[in-house]
Structure 1
Amino acid sequence: MQGLIISALIAIGVIVLLGMTIRIVPQRNVYVVERLGKYRTSLEAGMHILMPFIDKVAYKHSLKEIVRDVPRQSCITKDNIEVSIDGVMYLQVIDPKSASYGVDDYVMAAQQLAQTTLRSVIGKIDLDKTFEERSEINMEVVQAVDEAAQPWGVKVLRYEVADINLPASIKDAMEKQVRAERERRAVVAESEGDRQAAINRSEGDRQAAINRSEGEKQEMINISEGEKMKQINEAEGRARQIELIAQATATGLREVATAVKEDGGEEAVSLRIAEQYVSAFEKLAKESTTLLLPSNLSDVGGTVAGLQKVLKTIDRTQP
């Protein structure tokens, strides 16, 4: 029985000894080993053999990014407005030895340094710019904390302002300011719309007046052109009429002259003149109650002879 107990104790001792001797480091992790209280080496991912009772794993570090909240704190802006700000910080261990011996708790140290740096940055800017310049605030905090964390073997990757809380009075004043600005923009936009509408109406009226005047002008031009063409056509018609009458009269006179030259022509002409002479006096007597007679009315033959003499003269002048 005692032999079994001794065997079991030996087995347990061997297991414990193996546990103290063999160390398996997970991926993206680093173990810091001390030998007799002094730094010896840093173990990366894989299996490693340690000397029992002499070597021990003093610190374990993850090489992955570490995300930590930066607690909310009160900050005073340049224009003396108190705001409450919290944030998020991203860290990564790049030197396990420095992270083990450079500072007691690098995460807490980075958080505290981020808070103090944030208070300093916020104190340099006005309240309005705390909302407009978040990226600049984040960059300044990262730069300051990363510079201070280099001896700790820690790299500060990013810092983001998560939330900015304002006092109720400041919120109310800002909301009123925003409403006033929106109302002002609405009034400006409405006035711009009215102005543009008035401009468009005036432009439309002006163009309509121009179109009407152009139409009236063209109408008057067309009317004057029509009157001109009408007068030209009437003048040409009258000229043509006179020409035709003259040609007809000339033709008639030539025919009469030709007829006079023929045998019995002069007697026929004399008879025709006498008939028209008598007919003219007859018509004159019918149309008027007063009749003026020539002194030689009885000498119709002399009148006819005079007309015949005229016809002969015309006949001699014809070519």
Structure 2
Amino acid sequence: MDYAVPLAIAVIAIIFIVRSIKVVPQQHAWVKERLGRYAGTLTPGLNFLIPFVDRIAYKHSLKEIPLDVPSQVCITRDNTQLTVDGILYFQVTDPMRASYGSSNYIMAVTQLAQTSLRSVIGKLELDKTFEERDMINAQVVSAIDEAALNWGVKVLRYEIKDLTPPSEILRAMQAQITAEREKRALIAASEGRRQEQINIATGEREAFIARSEGEKQAAINKAQGEAAAITTVAEATGQALERVATAIRQPGGEQAVQLKVAERAVDAYSKVATDSKTTLVIPSNMTEVSGLIASAMKMVQVGKSS
């Protein structure tokens, strides 16, 4: 009996100590109530309570919480049904409001996310819902965040996980995509053929121009060559005539010319006589040959006197 009282006192003291000392983990907040009324928020670390007067009413995690929003059917602006599900990320920023602002802030945030999503999708046509995911996410976050302030919750972001239209719409969309791809393929092929024809025409035109330029240059070169040849022949003939004229003026030049003319005449008669197909008519008077030579010499003398 002597040990009962001290033992009882020790047990009561341990109970008091246990109930008065609270250690809050990091990134957590505990709401304290004193006689049923809000009396403060315990921060991470060592905290003290008044036993049997204070109690921990709510415990909140201050970490970012991912919340899976159940899938639901939404109606688009063009009366098409879409099955949409997403995920919401939020964080408790005010433990007191999270405790007393709503009886269940998680359910409240979930329901508000669903109603906001239906409202946003109802303003868009089917095609836009697939193109404007970022806009839909942003509008859902904006709508939830405004209302969630009273619940001590901060909505960080919302992400649509899946948009599933009815099977009939899916088949129609697939057919449309196939048609668009075939159209692009036909356009690409026609553009390729068009470019090919342009390249061929350009090549033929350039080849024709090159050939005409070559022919032009060849004609110019040929004309220049013929002109140079004529000039050379004329100069050579002129020089030969000058030499002949000079030789004629020398003593015995006229006799040499007479001899040369006579040789040419005899040579011409001999060539004609050797041709079996040619009929040779010999002058009855051979003095005509000498007359021919005299005429040639007369022309030479005229040229000499001039």
TM-score range, shorter chain: 0.7 to 0.9
Superposed CA RMSD in Å reads 2.7
Give the match for residue 89 of structure 1. 88
SS in 2 for 1:211: helix
CA-CA distance at 1:153 after TM superposition: 1.3
Give the match for residue 140 of structure 1. 139
CA-CA distance at 1:179 after TM superposition: 0.3
**In the comparison of the two structures, how many residue pairs are matched?**
273
Residue 284 of structure 2 aligns with an amino acid whose one-letter code is T
CA-CA distance at 1:6 after TM superposition: 6.0
Is there any run of 5+ residues in structure 2 with no aligned partner, and where? Answer: 271-281, 289-300
In the alignment, the residues of structure 1 paired with residue 99 and residue 62 of structure 2 have an alpha-carbon distance, to the nearest angstrom, of 13
Q: Decide which of 282, 285, 290 is 1:291's aligned counterpart.
A: 285
CA-CA distance at 1:60 after TM superposition: 0.8
Is there any run of 5+ residues in structure 1 with no aligned partner, and where? Answer: 258-268, 295-309
CA-CA distance at 1:7 after TM superposition: 5.7
Give the match for residue 31 of structure 1. 30
CA-CA distance at 1:93 after TM superposition: 1.1
In the alignment, the residues of structure 2 paired with residue 18 and residue 50 of structure 1 have an alpha-carbon distance, to the nearest angstrom, of 9
Residue 231 of structure 2 aligns with an amino acid whose one-letter code is I
What is the TM-score normalised by the length of structure 2?
0.82
Give the match for residue 299 of structure 1. none
Give the match for residue 245 of structure 1. 244
Give the match for residue 208 of structure 1. 207
CA-CA distance at 1:214 after TM superposition: 1.2
CA-CA distance at 1:15 after TM superposition: 2.7
1:154-195, Cα deviation, whole Å (9 max, x unpaired): 111101111111111110000000000000100110111011
CA-CA distance at 1:126 after TM superposition: 0.5
Distance 1:187 1:8, change over 3 A: farther
CA-CA distance at 1:107 after TM superposition: 1.4
Residue 204 of structure 2 aligns with an amino acid whose one-letter code is D
Is residue 110 from structure 1 mapped to residue 109 from structure 2 by the alignment?
A: yes
Is residue 199 from structure 1 mapped to residue 198 from structure 2 by the alignment?
A: yes
In the alignment, the residues of structure 2 paired with residue 231 and residue 40 of structure 1 have an alpha-carbon distance, to the nearest angstrom, of 128
In the alignment, the residues of structure 1 paired with residue 50 and residue 113 of structure 2 have an alpha-carbon distance, to the nearest angstrom, of 41
Give the match for residue 130 of structure 2. 131
1:1-319 matches, within 5 Å, as 9-250=8-249, 252=250, 255=251, 288-291=282-285, 293=287
Moved more, 177-186 or 199-208: 199-208
In the alignment, the residues of structure 2 paired with residue 164 and residue 198 of structure 1 have an alpha-carbon distance, to the nearest angstrom, of 46
Residue 24 of structure 1 aligns with an amino acid whose one-letter code is V
SS in 1 for 2:168: helix
What is the TM-score normalised by the length of structure 1?
0.79
In the alignment, the residues of structure 2 paired with residue 90 and residue 293 of structure 1 have an alpha-carbon distance, to the nearest angstrom, of 140
